[in-house]
Amino acid sequence: MNVRVRLFASAREAAGVGHLLLELPNGGAVRDAIAAITTLHPLIGKIGHMVMAKNREYVGLEEPLADGDELALIPPVSGGSIAGAERILVSAASLSLDAAIDAVRGPDSGGIVVFLGTVRDASRGRRVRHLEYEAYAEMAAAKMREIATALERTHAPIRIALHHRVGDLAIGEIAVVVAAAAPHRDAAFVAARSAIDELKRVVPIWKKEYTDDGAIWIEDHA
């Protein structure tokens, strides 16, 4: 059977490619695919704490694979993060605060809470020159929509917008926007905080810091 493999961030750099086509025996599992990939590209095996996604859903090592499946190797997400009144957006274009607010605003909105994540000029005692964000865009958008839907169900009536940049960002640029609109401010505050925390935890978006000392993929949530 043939399995299509997608690599991102540090895994992509370790392999030197972003896509692979693996031929595996029928009845193989994710574990077998990982073994084949690390044999072809040993540097990938040095990346710790990677997780896998089959057809854009997180899976374990024993998950069976079938012909035509897409398997993505996902290094630890660093969190961080498209235009118009879209509620879920992953975009190489600059993010708009007004667009995020417009996506959740309504006549029942007594409170709208907005969180902006911006690029700062220092991290871990080093001067940051700029950042690069990379995403598994299709899965990132799907996971962001899951987060928004779950929070809207938990805190109803409420509306959530999640917008995230990809590509090269200068100091001061907006990397992520979370907007939450609810009849009362308490629910909006709680939902906005939960949304950004969950986004940084599970959405496959990676951040690379460029500093005076070089460039490095960030594999935590600083």
CA 196 to chain centre: 11
Beta strands 70-74; 2-7: pairing state: parallel
Q: List, for residues 119-173, the tens digit of each pLDDT value.
A: 999 888 889 999 999 999 889 999 999 999 999 999 989 999 999 999 999 999 9
Summarize the confidence of residues 62-85 as an average pLDDT: 69
- What's the chain's average pLDDT? 87
Q: ∠ CA 134-92-118 to the nearest 5 degrees? A: 75
| Residues 6 or more apart whose Cβ sits within 8 Å of residue 198 | 147, 151
pLDDT of residue 47 exceeding 60, the answer is: yes
- Please give the pLDDT value at position 76: 60
- Please give the pLDDT value at position 5: 92
- Please give the pLDDT value at position 82: 32
pLDDT of residue 66 exceeding 50, the answer is: yes
Cis peptide before 157 (omega within 30 of 0): yes
| Percentage, residues of the chain above pLDDT 90 | 50
Query: Going from the N-terminus, what domains does the chain have, and what CATH number goes with each?
Result: 2-74 (3.10.20.30), 88-218 (3.90.1170.40)
More confident residue, 124 or 209: 209
pLDDT of residue 176 exceeding 90, the answer is: yes
Other beta carbons less than 10 A from residue 98's beta carbon: 10
- Please give the pLDDT value at position 221: 46
- Please give the pLDDT value at position 77: 54
Indicate the pTM of the whole model: 0.68
d(CA 82, CA 163): 7
Beta strands 70-74; 51-54: pairing state: antiparallel
